[in-house]
Amino acid sequence: MRLDAMAVEFPVVQGHPNRRPFEGVLTLVDVASDKAPTGARGHKVVLTRAAAEAALPSLLGMAVDFKTGWDGHDAQRKCGIITSAHVANNELRVSGYLFARDFPEMERELVAHGNEVLGMSYELADAHVEDMRAPVWRLTKATFTGAAILLREKAAYRSTRFRLTATTKREGRMRAAGGQRWN
C-alpha cells in the first residue's frame, strides 16, 4: 500500500460549537468516473495518481460546500474546511471540519441522510487533459479549489463517501440527543 498525505494541524478545542469533524473519500485516482463531471463536456474523467499527489497541497485549507437538495455544488455556500488529505490505494481521502453552529440545518440534514447515501465531489481549476479528443479524459495536472458534499447518486464517482465524526463521547451523546448547541 502506498500512502501520500498532507495535513494542517489545528489545536484541539474540546466542545468547540462550530467545529464538527468529518471525513470522506473525495474521489478515486486512476479510475474513470461513473459519469461526466460538470465542466468535462460530457466526458468521463480519470484523475491520475501523479496529478492527485501533486495537487494534495492545494486541497489543504480549501472549503467544503453544499447545495440545497444535495444534488450538486454551490461554491457560494461554504460550510467547512479541509485540513487533511491523502491518497491510499486508489482513494483520495480528506478530513476536516464543518461549521456546525453556522449551518445547523445542514448538520441536521446530514445526520438525517446517514452515511450510506452521502458522497463528495471535487472542484478543480487549471486542469490539464492529456488528449481532449479521447472519450475518457485523463487529467494529468490540476489544482483543487474546493469540494462539495452531495448524494452519492449525484456524484461523478458514486463510490465516494462522506461522514460526520464525533470529537468526544460527550459531544456525540449531546448531538444524538437533539443536536444541542453550546452558547
From the number of C-beta atoms within 10 Å of its C-beta (0-12, 13-18, 19+), residue 139 rates as: buried
Cell of 90: 486508489
Name the residue ranges covered by the structural domains of the chain: 3-7+18-176
- As a whole number of angstroms, the longest Cα–Cα distance in the chain is 56
Q: The CATH number of 3-7+18-176 is which of 3.20.16, 2.60.40, 3.40.50, 3.90.550? A: 3.20.16
pTM score, two decimals?
Answer: 0.85
The C-alpha angle 117, 123, 129, rounded to 5 degrees, equals 115
Where are any strands of DSSP class E within 10-135?
A: 20-28, 44-47, 63-66, 78-88, 91-98, 118-129
C-alpha distance across the termini of the chain, in Å: 44
CA-wise closest residue to 115 among 164, 154, 155, 159: 164
CA–CA separation, 153 vs 176, rounded Å? Answer: 26
pLDDT 10s digit of each residue in the chain, 183 long? Answer: 555 677 778 888 888 999 999 999 999 999 999 999 988 999 999 999 999 999 999 999 999 999 999 999 999 999 999 999 999 999 999 999 999 999 999 999 999 998 889 999 999 999 999 999 999 999 999 999 999 999 999 999 999 999 999 754 444 444 444 443 322
CA–CA separation, 3 vs 115, rounded Å? Answer: 24
Q: Are 17 and 173 in contact (CB under 8 A)?
A: no
The C-alpha cell 489545528 sits at 10
Tell me the one-letter amino acid at 45.
V
